[in-house]
Amino acid sequence: MGTGEARLGGSERRGPVAGLLLAAGSGSRLGRPKALVELGGERLVDRGVRMLAEGGCAPVLVVLGAADTRVEAALTVHNTDWSSGMGSSVRAGIDALPDSVDAVLVALADQPLVTPAAVRRLVEAYEQGARAAVATYNGNPRNPVLLGREHWSTVYSMAERDVGARPFLRAYSHLVTSVSCDDIASPEDIDTAEDLARMSEMLDRA
């Protein structure tokens, strides 16, 4: 598994892992909220919820902002400060996490090529003892990110403007387990109509 593998210890799990999908943005470059964009006949917000649930996260929470919509099989959190950037959505999501969960796995709605298998791989790292973990691609940390409860307040204090967990991952890299996901997922995101068309073609060929 890369950095932090030696720290993985026993297999006892301390509590459930919640899934947190960030889907509050307006999609300014796309011209519409990304949460509502359809890919393969499925909205990105629904695809993200399904990914987290199939990957082993429960409950699953979705942070909405620009688009206020009903999302099946997930708890919705409205971020009134969504226009300030991703950091406010991270904070809104952390505020809404139930006391029953021990860790949270954070994912982005605009990265539809992240798979349930990648989520499961991070959850497995947690079950083996990791208290913070990040999916890597070509050795670079991207998304999803898993955070044990003891790290939430630090992430909360560092998340601002358009950054989420990245400052935490950099400042506390010695605490983070890197989980390679090159073979099962991709961190490509959808920012433009061209991105959406390219991913639709990729899924059609799959």
* CB 3 within 8 Å of CB 140: no
Residue 112's alpha-carbon distances to 4, 5, 95, 128, 173, in angstroms, are: 27, 27, 25, 27, 26
> What pLDDT is recorded for position 206?
64
Give the helix ranges, DSSP H, for 20-161.
44-54, 86-96, 116-127, 152-158
Which is more confident, 133 or 14?
133
Please write the tens of the pLDDT for every residue from 129-150: 999 999 999 999 999 999 999 9
Please write the tens of the pLDDT for every residue from 16-65: 999 999 999 999 888 899 999 999 999 999 999 999 999 999 999 999 99
Which residue type occupies 81?
D
Parallel/antiparallel/unpaired status of strands 38-39 and 42-43: antiparallel
* CB 43 within 8 Å of CB 35: yes
Q: What percent of the chain has pLDDT over 90?
A: 83
Residue 54 makes CB contacts below 8 A (sequence gap 6+) with: 116, 119
Q: Is residue 122 over pLDDT 70?
A: yes
Q: What percent of the chain has pLDDT over 70?
A: 93
Single out the residue of 23, 8, 10, 14 nearest to residue 150, CA to CA.
14
**The residue count for the chain:** 206
Residues 99-105 have a mean pLDDT of 97
